[in-house]
Amino acid sequence: MAEFTPTVPARVLPPVTVRDLPEPPRSTWRFIGPGLVGAGVGLASGEFILWPYIASQVGLVFIWGAAIGIITQWFLNMEIERYTLATGETALTGFSRMWKHWGLVFVLMTLGSNLWPGWVTTSATMVTYLTGAGEGAVRWIAIGMLLLIAFGLTLAPVIYIALERVIFAKVALVAILIVVAIVVAITADSWVQLGRGLTVGAQFPVPPLDFAVLMGAIAYAGAGGGQNLCQSNWIRDKGFGMGLYVPRLVSPVTGQEEAAASTGFQFAPTKENLARWRQWWRFANLEQAWTFGLVTFVTIALMSMLAYSTVFGQPGLENSIEFLRVEGQVLQETVGTWFGVLFWVIGALALFAAAMGIVDYTSRLASDTLKTVYLSKSSVSVNKVYFFTVWAIALIGIGILLLGFDQPLILLVFSACFAAVMMFVYSILLIVLNRRALPDAIKVRSYRLGALIWSVAFFGTLTVLVVIQQAQTLFGG
C-alpha cells in the first residue's frame, strides 16, 4: 500500500502520528467499564426523581420516551467513541482541529452546567432523611462530600480505576435495591403497565405534564450535556483502540506520570488494520449497549415502577428532592421501616457517586482541552491541570454553599440551556468530524448518519423550547 497521508486535519493543531491500530482484546471482560461508568454517572436525579415523578403523575404511559432518549444517546456516544478509537484523541480535540476554540466553548458550557453543586446537595439532603438532622445540616454535609470527592479524585494513583470502582459499587447497590423492590414493593399491575407503556398504551403528549418537561426527560435519560463527550476520555483511559498509546490520567501526588504528546495518532486503512477496527468497533458497540444502554433503561423502568406502585395518584407530589422524602416515607408505611431506610441509604450513596463522576468528567474535559490546545508547549502536565481543576470546582462549590445561595435561579437557567445547546451543537460537529477527518472505510454513514441527523433535529427543537421556557421563568414573561 502507498504511504498513508493522515486525513485528520492539522491546520490548527500539530499533525497526528501514523501507527498501526492495536490488537483487539482477547479477554473482553477486562475492557468492560466505560459504558457502565457513563451509566453510573448518569444515574442521578433524573432516574431517582424525574422519571419516577412522571410515573407518579401519569403512570407508565411515557416510559417509551426513556427508550428513545437512551437509544439516541447510544448513537451519540458511539460517534464520540468512533473518533477516539481511530485516533486516540478526544472528540473535543477533534472539534478543536476544526476551530481552535470549540473545545473551550464546550468546557465553559459544561462548567456553567455544573457550577451549582446541586448534585451533591441532593445527596446531602437524603442523608438528613436518615439522620433526622435539620435542613441547616445539608450545607455542612455537602461541603464534607465535596472535600471527600476532591481528595478521592486527586489522590488515587490511576484516577479512572478509582472512579470505575466507585461506579461499579454504586451500580451494585442500585441493583440490590431493585431486586429487593421487585420482591417486596413492585406490584403485578406495574409490570402490566410497563408493557402497555412500551406498546399499545404509549402516549404523547401526556397532560397535565408540560411538553418541555417530557422533551427534557427524553433528552437527559441516562446522561446529557458534557457527560456524553467524556466517553472519549473514559475509553482512552481504558485502552480502547488507538487510546492504548495515550498515557492514563494519574494523580500528580501518588501516581507515576508519563511524558506524552498532546495530540494523537491515525492508522493506515490496510487490510490488517481494518480487520482490527471491525473487532474494536463491534466490541465498543456491544460494551456501550449492554452497560450504558441496558443498565440505564432497566434502572429508569424499575425506579418508575416502584414509584407507580407506591405513590401513583398521591396529591401534592413535587418534582424535586421532596419527592424522595415522600416516596421513602410511603415505603416505610407500606413495606416496612427497613425498606424506606434502605431506599434513602442507597439513594444518598448513588447520588454521591454521581456527584463524583460529574466532578471527574468536568475536570477531564477542561484539563484535556487546556493542555492539548492552549498549554501544549508548557511543561505543566495534563495530570496537574486536572488536579487544579478538581479542586477549583470543589472550592467554588464550597464557596457557593458558604455564601448561602439556595439554588440561584440564574445558575439553574444556565444549566438547562447549556446542556440543550451543547447536545445540539456537538451532534452537528460529530457529523462533520466523522465524515471529513476519518478514512472512507470507517467514516460515519448510513443509518448512523441518519441517527445523528435525528439528534440534531431533536436537540435543536429542545434548545429552542428550553431557551424560551427559561427566559420566561427568568424574566417573568
DSSP string, 395-436: HHHHHHHHTT--S-HHHHHHHHHHHHHHHHHHHHHHHHHHHH
- pLDDT value, residue 148: 97
Please tell me the predicted confidence (pLDDT) of residue 355.
94
Cβ atoms within 10 Å, residue 409: 11
pLDDT confidence of residue 472: 76
Are 353 and 47 within 8 A, CB to CB? Answer: no
pLDDT (0 to 100) of residue 76: 96
| All domains in the chain, ordered by first residue | 17-475 (1.20.1740.10)
For the chain, the C-alpha Rg in angstroms (whole number) is 22
Contacts 24+ apart (CB under 8 A), 7-10: 7/266, 7/436, 7/437, 7/438, 7/439, 8/87, 8/89, 8/94, 8/97, 8/264, 8/266, 8/437, 8/438, 9/97, 9/98, 9/436, 9/437, 10/97
Alpha-carbon dihedral angle through residues 26, 28, 30, 34, given to the nearest 10 degrees: 140
Cα dihedral sign, 461-462-464-465: positive
pLDDT at 118: 84
* N-term to C-term CA, the chain: 64
Q: What is the largest CA-CA distance in the chain?
A: 73
Position 409 scores a pLDDT of: 61
Asked if residues 293 and 402 have their Cβ atoms less than 8 Å apart, the reply is no
Write down the pLDDT at residue 205: 86
CB-side neighbour CA atoms (13 Å) of 57 = 20
Helices 337-369 and 34-42 pack at an angle, to 10 degrees, of 120
Q: What is the pLDDT along the chain (477 residues), one digit of tens a residue?
A: 557 889 999 888 999 999 999 999 887 788 889 999 999 998 887 888 899 999 999 999 999 999 999 999 999 999 999 999 999 999 999 999 999 999 999 999 999 888 888 889 999 999 999 998 888 899 999 999 999 999 999 999 999 999 999 999 999 999 999 999 999 999 999 999 999 999 999 999 898 888 878 888 898 888 888 999 999 999 999 999 999 999 888 888 886 776 566 689 999 999 999 999 999 999 999 999 999 999 999 999 999 999 999 999 898 898 888 999 999 999 999 999 999 999 999 999 999 999 999 999 999 999 999 999 999 888 888 999 999 999 999 999 999 999 987 666 666 666 777 888 899 999 999 999 999 999 999 999 999 999 999 999 999 998 888 778 777 766 765
Residue 427 CB partners (closer than 8 Å, separation 6+):
76, 452, 455, 456, 459
| Residue 43 confidence (pLDDT) | 86
Cell of 422: 451543547
The string over 462-473, giving b where at least 16 C-beta atoms fall within 10 Å of a residue's C-beta and e elsewhere, is: bbebbeebbeee
> Other CB atoms closer than 10 Å to residue 197's CB: what's the count?
27
Calpha distance 448→469 (Å, rounded): 31
Instruction: Let me know: does 34 contact 228? Beta carbons within 8 Å.
Output: no
